[in-house]
Structure 1
Amino acid sequence: MNAARLTGLTVGIDLRRGRGSATVDVLDDVHLDVPAGRVTALVGESGCGKSLVAAALTGLMPPGSRVRGTVQVGGRQVRCDDERAWRELRGRQVGSVPQSASTSFTPVRTIGSQLAEICARLDSDRTPEQLCAAVALPPHVVDRYPHELSGGMAQRVAIAAALAGRPGLLVADEPTSALDPDNAALTWRLLGDAAADGAGVLVITHDMPSLLRAAVCDDVAVMARGTVLSQTSLVDTLGSTDAYTQALLGTVLV
């Protein structure tokens, strides 16, 4: 069963040039499965379109996007421009962990009040304190303001917020890019736990070394030039003889 699927997704962005305009294809015929209960890593060089894939799966496409192909979430086909449908899906069916967790919360309100608002909106069966406990944070974090959190703590709060509605799909964009090795390892473990609980987890990452050390990745999708070149199990990806794939696995991408 797939938590999400992209089929033939092609995305063009309208650009104005002088008095005219042009459409530039950023994604080209992307096919991608995010299986339920598994962690899928989406890897590729900078600028290849990974973040736009995340945008397509969370209903956050940039203005001026021209989209062909299909996006399915939980077996439901959703148009990228159907904001009403995405409002229903976000939080309940689709959870999103942003790259800049520390700036994703309102700075003048406590973490507890913001998590409580999310829980109320999603009819969550967990309290802010329970969500914090689920991501290995002490109860007193709910009384802190965002600026009082370390980078690792802020990332865990972002994961807690994304899990509040128990979504079937969790999309994490570079979740360890600003973390030290210990906090990166804990973040990977939490994402692995979400998959163990049944969610399909898509992780966009340049940090393959720490992901491999964490041993939570099941599948790897390799992107280049706006398309997915391959999607295979981690074992098969590690055994690939493709030079581009091996370069991605052997280095921290820039």
Structure 2
Amino acid sequence: MSNMYYVHPEAKIGNNVTIGNFTNIYENVEIGDNCEIAGNVTIYPGARIGSGVKIFPGAVISAIPQDLKFRGEETYAYVGDGTTLRECVTVNRGTASKGKTVVGSNCLIMAYNHVAHDCVIGNRVIISNACQLAGEVVVDDYAVIGGGSLVHQFCHLGRNIMLQGGALVNKDIPPYVKAAREPISYVGLNTIGLHRNGFSQEDIQKIAEIYRVLYLSDLNVTNAIKLVQETLPESSYRDEIVKFVVNSERGIIRSAV
């Protein structure tokens, strides 16, 4: 039986790539070695897919943005090595704003997720089923996003966070925390996740001290950050959290306590 899929002659396909029936791969697509692309997948121009990527049925990669400002400019959608995109995931390509949408390496993007234009997803991120990420959302490494969550455009989710399922996110979530409730709020550290990712108890304690000042001191954010810098010893965690909060354009989530 002849192959029942379509690959444009200008597409660049690596070695040992399997392609399922009724999949369409267009021009200006590059796919690395050892990928598994199931049936009924559509990969549009601008896709740049790494090695060892698994793409399940119904996924659509690098479709044009759902953004009225898009004028047909040449942009891209990147998927890093070892990432899995489950059924019906959509990853739109970028706009003139950033020029590319990026999903990092070794991520698990579960079924029915949407990653909009110009999003930047870090490495080893897990996004559970049916989440919707609006344009230009940034998700840092090792973040875990619960199923059914909706993330407002331009939000920034820090590294190693744990976000509850069904969350409505309209503020930035600083690194290493758990975020839950409605409105979405700080409810503590992602202690289990930090232990699983090799953080020592000493490191976790340093992070906890920073957030005790930031969220439990009854100070506004500006004064709490100042107190963190004045009273807590210098560390990479302190500098990272302070930088995240100071650079937050949408403002950070507040405490539920």
| TM-score interval for Structure 1 and Structure 2 normalised by the shorter chain | under 0.3
TM-score (norm 1): 0.26
* Greater RCO structure (CA 8 Å; 6+ sep): 1
TM-score (norm 2): 0.26
Q: Give the greater-gyration-radius structure (CA).
A: 2
Structure with more of its chain in helix, by fraction: 1
